[in-house]
Chains A and B, each alone.
Chain A
């Protein structure tokens, strides 16, 4: 299951979806909004996505993970819009027969999402300055 949503991500429904009789491990990675960037206080983040391509790139990553590891079920959900401190920006979940594959696949999916999926974060600091990290 892959989705983009402007609503809060529900862990319980993701966990339910991941359950499988052959699963011995279910890993969840939750990316959440931290209150600072390099010690500078953050007020909120704003996420924007190129929806159709973000979904297709997330699917490519999940497909590649399924080729590399024995994945029974996976969930990839990314938030868009305005997020406050502590809110969940991304949820990655996989279920596998054994734990090593679950750890490795979850890490691969989140690391690759950060590299290739067209989603952009705008950081709004408490002093009002806005930063888009795209310049040298």
Chain B
């Protein structure tokens, strides 16, 4: 089974990846921390970001949050609104 998950990209993560969203393979029982490790491997410059958070279905998620292929995941670099 080749499950994958859609990852939305914002702010500097768009500049680093050159994309606004990526489709990423999802291992069974993967957690937010697993996804981040894989993405760091693929895009090493993500490590330059001061604090990279992850949102799952529009809510800030913890590193141990489990992921499903139907989840909407987003990388949230430091925000700078206002």
Binding site for B on A (CB under 8 A): 31, 47-50, 52-54, 56, 78, 89-90, 110, 113-121, 132-136
A90 to B74, CA, bound (A): 24
Q: How many residues of B are counted as interface, with CB atoms below 8 angstroms from the partner's CB atoms?
A: 20
Inter-chain contact B10/A48, CB cutoff 8 Å: yes
Question: Known contacts A50-B10, A52-B58: does B78 contact A133 (CB below 8 Å)?
Answer: yes
Assess the B11–A134 pair: CB atoms within 8 A: yes
Please, which residues of chain B bring their CB within 8 A of the CB of A117? 79, 81-82
Verify if B76 is at the interface (C-beta below 8 Å from A): yes
B59 touches A134 (CB 8 A): no
Which secondary structure dominates chain B's binding surface?
loop
Distance in Å: Cβ of B74 to nearest Cβ of chain A? 6
Q: Is the CB of A116 within 8 A of B79?
A: yes
Residues 70-82 of B, flagged 1 when their CB comes within 8 A of A and 0 if not, give 0000101111111
Distance in angstroms from A14 CB to nearest chain B CB is: 16
Determine whether B12 belongs to the interface, using a CB cutoff of 8 Å to chain A.
Answer: yes
User: B26 at the A/B interface (Cβ < 8 Å)?
Assistant: no
* Contacts A/B (CB < 8 Å), 29 sampled: A48-B10, A48-B11, A50-B58, A50-B74, A50-B76, A53-B58, A56-B58, A89-B81, A89-B82, A110-B82, A114-B82, A115-B79, A116-B60, A117-B79, A117-B81, A117-B82, A118-B79, A119-B81, A119-B82, A120-B10, A120-B12, A132-B12, A132-B15, A132-B77, A134-B11, A134-B12, A135-B48, A136-B48, A136-B50
